[in-house]
Amino acid sequence: MTESGTRMARLRRPSLARGILGGLAGLVIGALPLIVAAQLGTEIKPGGFLALGYIGLLLGWLAGLGTFGPWAAWALGRPVNTEDQAAAHGRGGDWTRYFRFTTDHKVIGIQYLLAFLALFLIAGVLAMVVRLELAQPGQIFATDTYNTIMSTHGTLMIFVALNTIVGGLGNYFVPLMIGARDMAFPRLNALSFWLVPPALLLILLNPLFGGFDTGWTAYPPLSRQAELGEQAFLLTFITIGISSIVSAVNFLVTVARMRTTGMSMMRLPIFVWSLLVTTAIVLVATSVVASALTMSLFDRLIGTDFFRPAAGGDPILYQHLFWFYSHPAVYVMAVPAFGAVLEVVPVFARKPLFAYRLAVLSFVAIGVLSFMVWAHHMFVSGMAEFFHIPIMISTELISVPTGIVFFSALGTIWLGRLRFATPMLWVFGFIWCFLIGGITGVYLADVPTDLVLTDTYFVVAHFHYTIVGGMIFGMFAGLTYWFPKFTGRLMSERLGKIHFWWFTLAFNASFMPMFWLGIQGMRRRIADYPAELGELNLWASVAAWMIGLSMLVFVYNFIRSWARGPLAGANPWRARTLEWQVTSPPPVENFEHLPVVSSGPYEYGALAAGPAIQPTAFSGPDGRPR
C-alpha cells in the first residue's frame, strides 16, 4: 500500500484527526443554511452563525471521533467493527489512548483530570491578571477587558470545581472502589468527556467574539445586551451541563448496579457515597440551569422575551432558575471534596472513619437541603418579602449536616496515630479553610448581615474559602493520595509539603483580608476601588501571585514524579479500600476476578487483623493465589 493509501486508511478509522476534520465539516454544514439565507437577502444575526455552526461542529467532532459508530451499526443492523471496539477499550497500551475516544474509565479519568488541571492553571493565570488590575487604585486594562477576564476566570473555575474531582478522580476510582470492571455505560462516559474540549475551546475563544462582561451568573437583561462572547459562554455552559447530566446518570447506575459481592451500601467507601449524592444533585438540578441558559440564548437569538420586562418577561425568574441549580452546584463542588477528605483521614490516622453512618446521612441531608436554599443569593433582589425567612432558616440548617463532616474528621483523628504525609496536610488545610468558609457563610445566610455584606468582597472571600478551601484542598488531598495508584509512582513528599505550605499560607494571606475589604464596602466585580483600600489590595494581590507561583512546584512535582518517581507498589499508604488491592496502575480489566468484600472499608485498629476482602478474592479459579 502506498503511504498516502495508509494515511487514507487511517483517516477512515476513528481518531482525533478525524474528529477535528469532522468538527470543521460540521461547522460549515451547520452554518450553511444561514449562509445561504444571508445570500438570499435575509438578515441573519452573527449569533445565529455561531450557534448553528457550533452545534454542527460539536456533532461533527463527536462523529469523527467515532462516538456514534457502534450505535449507528447497531441501529442499521450492521456488524460492529471489532478493531475499533478493541481500540476504544484502551487496550492499545501506549499514551495515544489518552487522545482517542476510549471507553476505559481509567483513561477517561486521566483525560478529565489532565484537561481540568490544565484549565485550573489557565483560570489561575487569569486570576493573577485580575489581581494585577486590583493591585493598585486606578486602571491598567480597559473596563470591558477587565470584565471579560474576570468573567472568564469565574466561569472556567466553576467548570474546574465541578469536574476535576467528579470527572477525574471519580471516573478513575469509583469502579475500582466498588469492585467493578468499568462504569455501567462506558461509551456514554467517553461521550461525556469528549463533549468538553469543543466547549472549552469556545469559551477560551470568547475574546474573539467581543468577550463577555456579565460574570458567570450572566443576569439578564445585561446578558442580552452583551457582546457575542456572551453566547460563547451560554453555549459552553449548556454543553458542560449536558456532559454533566450524562455522566451523572452513569455514576448513579454504576453505584446502584455494579457493586461487587459483599459491597453493601453501608460498606461503600465514603468517597463513593459522596459521588452518589453529588451526581444525584447534578441529575436533578442541571437541566434547570440548562433551561435558564437556553431561554437566555433564545432571548438573544430569536427574540423570545422570557426575561425582558418590557415584553412581560421577568429578570428575577432567571435568578430563581439560575440559583436553583447554582447553589446545589456549590455542593456538587464541595461534597466530593468532603468524600475525598474523609477517605484520606482514616488511612493516615490509622483509625476507622468516625461516625460513618452519620457522615453518609449528612451527605444525603446536604443533597436534599441544597435544593431549598437557593434564594439566599437573592435577599436583596426584590423577590417576595416573606420568602426571606424560610430561606434563612433552611440555609442555616444546612450547616448541621456540613458540620458533621468536621465532626467525623475530628472524631477520626482523635486518639488516632497520625502520619503527616502530604495528603493528610491537605486534610488539615481543608479543615481550617472550609471552617472559615462555613462560618462566614452563616453571615451571608443571616438576612440582616447579608444586606450589608452581599455583593461585596466579603462574598468573594467567603466563596473562595469554600470552593478553594473546600474543593481545591479536597482535590489536592485526593490527588496526592491517589497519585501512586494512577501513575504507579510516588510523588515527592518534600516538594509536596513545600507546595502545601506555600499554597496554604499564600491563599490565607490573599483572601483573609478580603473579608475586611468587604466589610469596608468594597464591591465585587469592580475594576477600580477607593484609594484608601489600596494597601490591603496590594497585599492581597502579591499573595495571590504567590498562590500562582506555588503551582509551579506542584506542576513540576506532578510531571517529574509521574515520569521518574520511585515505584509505588500496590499499596504504599497501607489503605484497605479495594483500589489499593490491585497493582498500580491497575490492569485494564481492574480485577482479574471480582473481589468478594467481607467487611467495611476502614477496619483499622486492634480488631482489624484480616484484610478487608476475603483471601479468595485474588486467587485464581483453582483456589491458588495468583
Residues 521-550 that bind other proteins (CB under 8 A): 521, 523-528
Residues in binding contact with other proteins, number by CB under 8 A: 88
Please report how close the Cβ of residue 399 comes to other proteins at its closest, in angstroms. Answer: 6
Nearer to other proteins, 64 or 315 (CB): 315
Among 97, 388, 462, 485, binds other proteins (CB under 8 A): 388
Q: Of 36 and 266, which CB lies nearer to other proteins in the complex structure? A: 266
Q: How far apart are CA 74 and CA 84, in angstroms?
A: 14
Task: Show contacts with other proteins in window 552-591 (CB under 8 A).
Answer: 574
Judged by beta carbon, residue 78 or residue 574, the one nearer other proteins is 574
Residue among 520 and 598 whose Cβ is closer to other proteins: 520
Give residues 297-326 in contact with other proteins (rule: CB under 8 A). Answer: 309-310, 313-316
Binding pattern to other proteins, positions 444-483, x when CB under 8 A? Answer: -xxxxx-xx-xxx---------------------------
The only residue of 165, 349, 514, 617 in contact with other proteins, by rule CB under 8 A: 349
Contact 620, 626 (CB under 8 A): yes
Interface pattern 489-528 for other proteins (x via CB under 8 A)? ------------------------------xxx-xxxxxx
With binding defined as CB under 8 A, does residue 264 bind other proteins?
Answer: no
Nearest-10 Cα torsion for 462, 463, 469, 474: 150
If one asks whether residue 404 binds other proteins (CB under 8 A), the answer comes out as yes
Instruction: Name 625's bridge partners.
Output: 619
- Asked whether position 84 contacts other proteins by CB under 8 A, the answer is no
380 is a site residue for other proteins (CB under 8 A) = yes
Give residue 256's identity as a one-letter amino acid code: A
DSSP 352: P
**For residue 299, with 0-12 CB atoms within 10 Å meaning exposed, 13-18 middle and 19 or more buried, which class applies?**
buried
Q: Kindly tell me which residue out of 603, 611, 618, 619 binds other proteins, with binding defined by CB under 8 A.
A: 603
The answer to the question of residue 137 lying near other proteins (CB under 8 A) is no
For other proteins, the binding residue among 46, 138, 403, 587 (CB under 8 A) is 403
User: Which cell is 284 given?
Assistant: 436533578
User: Residue 257, class by beta-carbon neighbours within 10 Å (0-12 exposed, 13-18 middle, 19+ buried)?
Assistant: exposed
- Look-up of cell digits 457550533: 54
Residue 90 or 154: which CB sits closer to other proteins?
A: 154
Cis amide leading into 221 (omega within 30): yes
d(CA 30, CA 22): 12
List binders of other proteins among 223-242 (CB under 8 A). 225-226
Instruction: List binders of other proteins among 36-75 (CB under 8 A).
Output: none
d(CA 367, CA 253): 18
Residue 530: name the closest of 542, 539, 517 by CA: 517
Beta bridge partners of 567: 489
Neighbour-count burial for 261-283, b at 16+ CB within 10 Å, e otherwise: ebbeeebbbbbbbbbbbbbbbbb
Q: Is 590 helix (H, G, I), strand (E, B) or coil?
A: coil
- Cell readout for 482 is 491517589
356 binds other proteins (CB under 8 A): yes
Q: How far is the CB of 85 from other proteins (least distance, A)?
A: 45
